Homo-oligomer: A and B are copies of this chain.
């Protein structure tokens, strides 16, 4: 029982010294990345730096206990931080206690939503987000994130949560450009971008093994933090106007519940839902990709529960919302993490940093944190995806372009809503027009084919329509239209046969449409028949009064139907065909 609730009892049984060593190395590497990233993402979310560090503690332990991925690295991530800023900014001003409370409420609500979805096994809801929409959204969010960091990189007083607002405020504030800040940013950015490809080879040239070199290269963030902090402290750049992080409270966060007025809860419910879904979709794709490499399995409902509980933990420890992050998860995997214990050890590492090292971070320049964010989101931008998807499918390309456009112009929430709305509309449009074919008998056989593609025999008094799709409410009306269109202006018609070989389900809307068709045909003196109805569909139809009201019969096969309705024709064409092959190609 316990091991079904807590996967830890599963992987914990075989836990040995070797696993411990692997996990420990991974945890150290991830901690070194996570401490600066946590502070940076807190800054991106408009929150004090410690809030990002708190997000790298209890939530990781909770995920380690509940999560089904063995390598996913949970914590603050850039896109969720941006969305948190957008949502919290709607209900309070940055820097006020209300703003921090709003972030905690968002963590609480998204946690509760994810938990509920997981317990109710509603993970399929994430399917609302099509790949082009999520990809376009992440790209646009990445651009907005980069834009929002220009402020810290340049010292220019600017704001705005949309591209036009960012550009306008950049233009009007350009006079406030602070050259020392810009120089520092350029140096850190240059180093970090170089380090992504250049540091590991350098380490190998100075004599490290391939694996050690890669591990050391992961310390680039820490190096940038240490050197830039030391430089600011030594050169007194803080007093020269380079913005620094300043005092970070030492010690553990207090446990508390985010008690907000109902008004704030209501206002943040929809943003929290969006944050929950975006975070979940991103996280579960990462977890799945990593698990596949070791032929392990992800349980999507358990992931919902684990991420939900992790966010509830975040909200109870003054931390920002969390989810699985791409870059740290890959680092965790590459560094050899074998079990979720690596995540718990990472939390321990961050805890030690909070207890011991926060005084050292006083002079950490905000420009360095901004540079860390820029480097992280640079990997999110996938501008070539749009032309590629457009070339593949106009509809998907349009949904992606709309998502990007609306996100950049109006912000993250309208952008995501537009993308989801559009893809649902397109899906509905597609499914509202199922493929139907008017069929006729292939002469000499018991087969029936599309009259438009084959030389088949039909009877002017009988219309046979094959429906190549299950019948449910999005296409129920289409069926009515389709049948009645065929009947209109066709005075010789006496029988309509609907062929159901591909109909796996008939919902209540479609049943009502069938009843309407039956009634409307009866008003026109046309009888309605069904043929080739599958067993489960027939069972269900028997639970309604439709079969009693049906003016015609349910025939086992279409050939039976034709034999009953036009016996001469059916047999005649079968006999005749012994001497001919009437099937045209195509």
* A interface residue numbers (CB < 8 A to B): 124-132, 285, 288-289, 291-293, 295-298, 300, 388-389, 391-393, 395-397, 400, 423-425, 427-433, 435, 472-478, 480-481, 484-485, 487-491, 504-505, 507-509, 511-513, 516, 519-521, 523-524, 540, 543-545
- Number of this chain's copies in the complex: 2
Which residues of chain B have C-beta atoms less than 8 A from A433's C-beta? 124
Nearest CB of chain B from residue A169's CB, rounded to whole Å: 24
Nearest CB of chain B from residue A364's CB, rounded to whole Å: 38
Say yes or no: B484 contacts A292, CB within 8 Å.
yes
Say yes or no: B489 contacts A130, CB within 8 Å.
no
Say yes or no: A131 contacts B513, CB within 8 Å.
yes
Say yes or no: A423 contacts B473, CB within 8 Å.
yes
Say yes or no: B428 contacts A124, CB within 8 Å.
yes
Nearest CB of chain B from residue A390's CB, rounded to whole Å: 9
Most buried by B among A423, A484, A508, A523: A508
Contact for A132 among B392, B431, B475, B508, CB less than 8 A: B508
7 contacts between A and B (CB under 8 A): A131-B473, A131-B512, A288-B516, A288-B520, A295-B489, A395-B507, A396-B508
- If A392-B508, A544-B388 touch, does A127 touch B432 (CB 8 Å cutoff)? yes
In the bound assembly, the distance between CA atoms of A424 and B428 in angstroms comes to 9
Minimum-distance CB pairs A-B, first 6 = A292-B520, A396-B508, A130-B473, A131-B509, A297-B488, A293-B523
Which residues of chain B have C-beta atoms less than 8 A from A516's C-beta? 285, 288-289
Say yes or no: A476 contacts B544, CB within 8 Å.
no
Which residues of chain B have C-beta atoms less than 8 A from A475's C-beta? 127
Say yes or no: A473 contacts B507, CB within 8 Å.
no
Nearest CB of chain B from residue A244's CB, rounded to whole Å: 43
Say yes or no: A435 contacts B504, CB within 8 Å.
yes
Contact for A505 among B125, B291, B389, B430, CB less than 8 A: B430
Nearest CB of chain B from residue A552's CB, rounded to whole Å: 16
Which residues of chain B have C-beta atoms less than 8 A from A474's C-beta? 127, 427
Which residues of chain B have C-beta atoms less than 8 A from A124's C-beta? 428-429, 432-433, 478
Give the residue name and chain of the B residue nearest to A435 (CB).
Answer: B504
In the bound assembly, the distance between CA atoms of A513 and B131 in angstroms comes to 9
- If A295-B488, A507-B396 touch, does A427 touch B127 (CB 8 Å cutoff)? no
Say yes or no: B393 contacts A293, CB within 8 Å.
no
Say yes or no: A392 contacts B429, CB within 8 Å.
no
Which residues of chain B have C-beta atoms less than 8 A from A391's C-beta? 543-544
Which residues of chain B have C-beta atoms less than 8 A from A400's C-beta? 508
Which residues of chain B have C-beta atoms less than 8 A from A295's C-beta? 487-491, 524
Which residues of chain B have C-beta atoms less than 8 A from A544's C-beta? 388, 391-392
Contact for A520 among B130, B293, B392, B481, CB less than 8 A: B293
- If A508-B396, A523-B293, A540-B392 touch, does A430 touch B131 (CB 8 Å cutoff)? no
Which residues of chain B have C-beta atoms less than 8 A from A480's C-beta? 288
Which residues of chain B have C-beta atoms less than 8 A from A388's C-beta? 544-545
In the bound assembly, the distance between CA atoms of A288 and B432 in angstroms comes to 18
Give the residue name and chain of the B residue nearest to A521 (CB).
Answer: B292
Which residues of chain B have C-beta atoms less than 8 A from A513's C-beta? 131
In the bound assembly, the distance between CA atoms of A520 and B296 in angstroms comes to 11
Say yes or no: A523 contacts B476, CB within 8 Å.
no
A131-B509, A291-B484 are known; give 8 further A-B pairs, CB within 8 A.
A128-B428, A132-B508, A288-B480, A293-B523, A391-B544, A392-B511, A392-B540, A423-B473
Say yes or no: B473 contacts A127, CB within 8 Å.
yes
Say yes or no: A131 contacts B292, CB within 8 Å.
no
Nearest CB of chain B from residue A161's CB, rounded to whole Å: 20
Which residues of chain B have C-beta atoms less than 8 A from A508's C-beta? 130-132, 389, 392-393, 396-397, 400
In the bound assembly, the distance between CA atoms of A423 and B508 in angstroms comes to 11
Which residues of chain B have C-beta atoms less than 8 A from A429's C-beta? 124
Most buried by B among A509, A523, A540: A509
